Amino acid sequence: MSKVIVFGSLNADLSIECDRIPRASETIQGRKFFITPGGKGGNQAVAAARMGAETLMLGCVGPDAFGRDLVSSLVRFGVSCEDVSVSRHYPTGTAIIMRSDNDKRIIINQGANLRMNFDTVRTTLRGLASKGDVFLTQLECDFETTIESVIFAHGMGLVTVMNASPAAELPDELYASLDILCINEAECEELCGINPTEDPASMRRALDFFAERGVGHTIITLGSKGSATLVDDQVHTVPSFDVTVEDTTGAGDAYLGALVTEFAAERPLEEAMIVASAAGALATTKPGAQKAMPGYHEVIDFLSENGEEITWND
């Protein structure tokens, strides 16, 4: 299996549950407050490691307790953190999460996540990456550094995967360097102006938009409606799995982590999406982000219980 290299954000998640999202200038009572390690980069790295991939983290934390705890947590989950930097002057990134039923609102302070520069990423990739390794990024770190890093990784022969979240206008040269673009329906509409859930023709137009710009494969996740992509020039949909939802915070990151692990194992796209859907569903059955990421055998058992025939390599 190839390595999974994640360049992304590392945040401390401060999460609280409430009956409803407060209105402007309103204070309401909350409950079930907890602090957990998070950030899309960290979450996706843990998800990949839990699924059995050799996972390496590139990122930056601050010189504070949050940063030390984040790195320690990643290491406990099996993620290599030798290339995580520590900023002397910027605090560790934080995320404030309000949870209400199956809804959530998140505010992020990027902090040290913005301090990772392209020269560092390039030097690191030259030292540890091999052709065929998977390079996974998001958009919570410095934008220009992220774009340059993806283009460079693609030139090295790595399998480039981007979770374009939070959505931002992307340059055409990036699209042409992406093997996989994974976005949800809201991010899709932000990037191309098309709501993919409006009707089947809209889904096709959205997927074509990215294909025409050079993306290898675009996967649009649709929450409880599953996910969709193009296979043999036809829209291919993978349904979601029915579970009792506790917290949706890390679901998308669990999906990405499982997806790139499947790519590292050179499994077909359609199969990778099924496995990723199962991992995403299982992540919603527990509170928090990284601690909710399902393990390899948990996903195997869940798929078997749901009648999915997947060929696994132990």
Strand partners, 103: 100
SS3 288: coil
Q: Quote the CA–CA distance of 292 and 279 in Å, as a whole number.
A: 10
DSSP state of 292: G
- Check: CB of residue 67 under 8 Å from CB of residue 16: no
DSSP labels for 176-210? TT-SEEEEEHHHHHHHHS--TTS-HHHHHHHHHHH
Q: Which one of 247, 253, 301, 314 is the catalytic residue?
A: 253
DSSP state of 295: P
Q: Count of CB atoms within 10 A of residue 216's CB?
A: 18
Where on the phi/psi map is residue 166: left (φ > 0), alpha (ψ -120 to 50), or beta? beta
Active site residue 253: yes
Catalytic residues: 253
